[in-house]
Structure 1
Amino acid sequence: MIKISPDDISNLKEAVENHVMDGVILTRTVENDDEIQFLKENGVPFVIIGPCDDKYVLRVDTDNEAACYDMTNALIHKGLNKMAVMCAERDHKVNQIRLDGILRAHMKSHMYLDKSLIFYDTESEIVAEMAVEKSLAANVDCILCMDDNICLGVIRILKSMGMKIPEDIKIASLHNSKLLDEFVPSISCIYQDEAALGKEAGRLLYTYLNENKILPHSILGYELQIKDSTG
Structure 2
Amino acid sequence: MKFRYEKENESKKITIQEIAKKLDLSPTTVSRAISGKGRIGLETKNKVFQFLEEYQYIPNTTEKTKKRSKNICVLLPGEEGHAQLPYFQEILLSVYDCFSAWGYGVLLVKTTSTNIGELMSLVEQRKIDGAIFTRTMEGDLAIRYLEKQKIPFVVIGSWVEEQVIQVDFDQEGGCKDLASVLLRMNIKKIACVCGDAGHIVTQSRLRGIRDAYQEAGVLMDEDLLYTGAVYPSIVEKDVAKILKKGVDCILCLDDNICLSVLNALHKSRVKIPKDIKVASCYGGKSLANCYPSITCLEFDVKEIGGVASKKLLDAMSGKVDYNKLILGYNVLIKESTM
Pairing 1:139–2:246 present = yes
The answer on whether the counterparts of 1:62 and 1:192 sit within 8 Å (CA) in structure 2 is yes
Unmatched runs of 5 consecutive residues or more in structure 2: 1-107
Shift of 1:193: 0.5
Task: Kindly report which structure 2 residues correspond to 1:1-231, keeping only aligned pairs within 5 A, or say none.
Answer: 1-210=108-317, 212-215=318-321, 216-231=323-338
Report the 3-state secondary structure (helix = DSSP H, G, I; strand = E; otherwise coil) of the residue aligned with 1:3.
Answer: strand
**Aligned-partner Cα distance in 1 for 2:293–2:241:** 25
User: Post-superposition, which runs of at least 4 consecutive aligned residues in structure 1 deviate over 4 A?
Assistant: none
Report the 3-state secondary structure (helix = DSSP H, G, I; strand = E; otherwise coil) of the residue aligned with 2:219.
Answer: coil
Unmatched runs of 5 consecutive residues or more in structure 1: none
**Greater relative CO (CA pairs within 8 A, separation 6+):** 1
The one-letter code sitting in structure 1 at the alignment partner of 2:332 is: Q
The one-letter code sitting in structure 2 at the alignment partner of 1:22 is: D
Deviations 1:136-164 (A, max 9, x none): 11111010111100000100000010001
Report the 3-state secondary structure (helix = DSSP H, G, I; strand = E; otherwise coil) of the residue aligned with 1:179.
Answer: helix
Which segment is superposed worse, 43-52 or 119-128?
Answer: 119-128
The one-letter code sitting in structure 2 at the alignment partner of 1:24 is: A
* Pair member with larger Rg: 2
Report the 3-state secondary structure (helix = DSSP H, G, I; strand = E; otherwise coil) of the residue aligned with 2:110.
Answer: coil
The one-letter code sitting in structure 1 at the alignment partner of 2:124 is: E
Shift of 1:179: 2.1
Corresponding residue for residue 101 of structure 2:
none
Paired residues, number:
230
The answer on whether the counterparts of 1:123 and 1:153 sit within 8 Å (CA) in structure 2 is no
Deviations 1:155-175 (A, max 9, x none): 000001000111111001101
**Aligned-partner Cα distance in 1 for 2:187–2:111:** 38
**Aligned-partner Cα distance in 2 for 1:37–1:123:** 25
The answer on whether the counterparts of 1:65 and 1:99 sit within 8 Å (CA) in structure 2 is yes
Shift of 1:91: 0.4
**Aligned-partner Cα distance in 1 for 2:192–2:124:** 41
Shift of 1:217: 2.1
**Aligned-partner Cα distance in 2 for 1:138–1:156:** 19
Shift of 1:66: 0.5
Report the 3-state secondary structure (helix = DSSP H, G, I; strand = E; otherwise coil) of the residue aligned with 1:214.
Answer: coil
**Aligned-partner Cα distance in 2 for 1:20–1:166:** 51
User: Identical aligned pairs, as a percentage?
Assistant: 37
